[in-house]
Amino acid sequence: MENKHDLRKKLKELRKTFDIKAKSQQIISLLRDTSEYKKAEYIMLFYPMKFEINLLALLEDNKNFYFPKVDGEKLLVCPYDEKFEKSNLNIYEPCSEPVSPKILDLIIVPALAVDKNNYRLGYGGGFYDRFIEENPDIKTLTPIYKECVFDNLPHNEFDKKIDIIISV
């Protein structure tokens, strides 16, 4: 099995070959049908990077949305207010003031890959793993391209499992 670094590199290239718009629309449709999404009132989304599933159409739904903002080693939870700025990590982050993560019902977690044991391969910063560790009662969901679902991925004791995986 490849190491995480090599897998990340390979998966970033693979994603460039997908019809992201079509797959994003399919994922949104499936996500809206989950009981977890239907029940959730307070949801943390992620702002899509290039070649990443784009869930921003969910903002049209009658829910309260939040986006993550990196602060050192932590992820802060900030209400959606349409204003974003590019961070030093080259990620669009909200300009709003952070609130307690305890408000969240659902966290939609980005990933480069997942496995059938619900482990995810993120981008390598560990931000979401630490956030999930600190907030174990909040449901987690990862949308992913089916080509990025594996039987097993390399993981260690710091890697946290995701509750729900949706793939197309």
What confidence tens digit (pLDDT) does each residue in 31-42 have? Answer: 999 999 999 999
Question: Of 108, 103, 16, 23, which is closest to residue 59 (Cα–Cα)?
Answer: 108
DSSP state letter for 130: H
**pLDDT on residue 1:** 59
Radius of gyration of the chain (CA): 15
Fold of the 4-62+105-167 domain = Rossmann fold (3.40.50)
| Per-residue model confidence as pLDDT tens digits over 61-114 | 999 999 999 999 999 999 999 999 999 888 999 999 999 999 999 999 999 999
**pLDDT on residue 90:** 87
**pLDDT on residue 2:** 80
Domain boundaries, the chain: 4-62+105-167
Secondary structure string (H, E, C) spanning 79-129: ECCCCEEECCCCCEEECCCCECHHHCCEEECCCCEEECCCEEECCCCCHHH
